[in-house]
Amino acid sequence: MNMPIGQLSTAFTVRAVLDLAKADKIQLSAPVSRYVSGVPDGEHMTVADLAQMRSGLVDFSKQAAYLDAIQKNPEARLLPDQLLHYSFTHPLLFKPGSRFDYSSTNTILLGLIIEKVTGKPLSRVITEQVLQPNRLNSTTFSTSFADPFLQVRGYARNSTTQNLQPVAWNPSQFWAAGAMTATASDLRDWARINANLTEYNHILAAYPQSPASGQTTTSVEYRWGSFVNHGWVGNASYQAGFESIAIYAPKTKDTIVILLNSEALDKGVPLAASLAQRLSRFISPHAIYQSDGQP
């Protein structure tokens, strides 16, 4: 079944950026202002800062104004510039490049950079450069509210009654940071592909992995679109009505994929994360995925 994968979309966007950097169409060390105008401190913020979540830009998806807007009109189509506006009205959290802070605003900007240098819609670039070459035929970048590939409805608890109710899923409200859908089998293959950055070593050698500061666990880093969590490489997403995880352990060649179509907690932790930790303990007791290792 094809389901929204939320924040897992970021890794696909970053992979497209790396492909373009490999082809000398994007310079990772270039200032963001070279490609996108109007970004706060964009002259001192690099493309690499965006891809490594070190820009200091506030996460648009956590702002009250954004959350209020999509709650009032779940079917509203939002443009990337509108998403950025929810971030740009706030000051930077820190000097670009100085530390890690996960922000989906970075991924929106990467999507705009991709469109700028290719002259193509982001959905087409990801399809042609990432999905088709890797035969991920059941993975899509959704561009419409009524996605024909979407086969599952998500459910969330009503804040007043606590009853489960269906939620609207609108890809435009997340775009480069969360507009994709996939099947479990495709994510199994993608988890392995995503964990291997060997072909980009020559352009990434100058950039160390970023410690994912602020996490309650140790041994968690962030590298080019994915977390490295105690030997497991990949991402988790806890989007309204859906939870998803796709992680791969290169040393043991184990893969964990979890897709849920409802929000649930296990002792205060998203259920998908709790399940991933339990599974990793069973199949790889020396490298246990930590359920609180990703924001």
Q: Tell me: the pLDDT tens digits for 168-199?
A: 778 899 999 999 999 999 999 999 999 999 99
Rounded distance between C-alpha atoms, residue 286 and residue 149, angstroms: 38
**Contact predicate 173/73, CB 8 Å:** no
Residue 47 Cα to chain centre, angstroms: 16
> Is there a domain that residue 294 lies in?
no
> Is there a domain that residue 210 lies in?
yes
Rounded distance between C-alpha atoms, residue 236 and residue 221, angstroms: 14
Cα separation values, 245 from 6, 108, 222, 232, 233, Å = 10, 21, 16, 11, 11
What was the pLDDT predicted at 218?
56
Domain of 99? 3-283
What was the pLDDT predicted at 232?
93
The most confident of the ranges 100-104, 266-270, 283-287 is: 100-104
Which helix or strand (DSSP H or E) is residue 104 part of? helix 104-118
> Is there a domain that residue 209 lies in?
yes
> Is there a domain that residue 290 lies in?
no
Rounded distance between C-alpha atoms, residue 139 and residue 185, angstroms: 10
Helix axes 80-88, 104-118, angle to 10 degrees: 140
Looking up residue 109, the CATH number of its domain turns out to be: 3.40.710.10
Across all residues in the chain, what is the average pLDDT?
A: 89
Rounded distance between C-alpha atoms, residue 275 and residue 217, angstroms: 17
> Is there a domain that residue 233 lies in?
yes
Token pair of 226, please?
Answer: 């994915």
Give the confidence band of 40 by pLDDT, cuts at 50, 70, 90.
very high
Q: Which residues contact 62 (CB under 8 A, 6 or more apart)?
A: none
**Number of folded domains in the chain?**
1
- Comparing C-alpha atoms, which of 145, 186, 144, 150 is closest to residue 261? 150
Biggest CA–CA distance in the chain, Å, is: 54
What was the pLDDT predicted at 214?
46
Average pLDDT of 235-251?
Answer: 91
Tens of pLDDT, residue by residue over 129-180, are 999 999 999 999 988 765 555 667 777 776 666 677 777 778 899 999 999 9
**What is the percent of the chain with per-residue pLDDT over 90, rounded to a whole number?**
65
Dihedral of CA 86/88/89/95: which sign? positive
pLDDT at 293 over 50: yes
Rounded distance between C-alpha atoms, residue 265 and residue 90, angstroms: 31
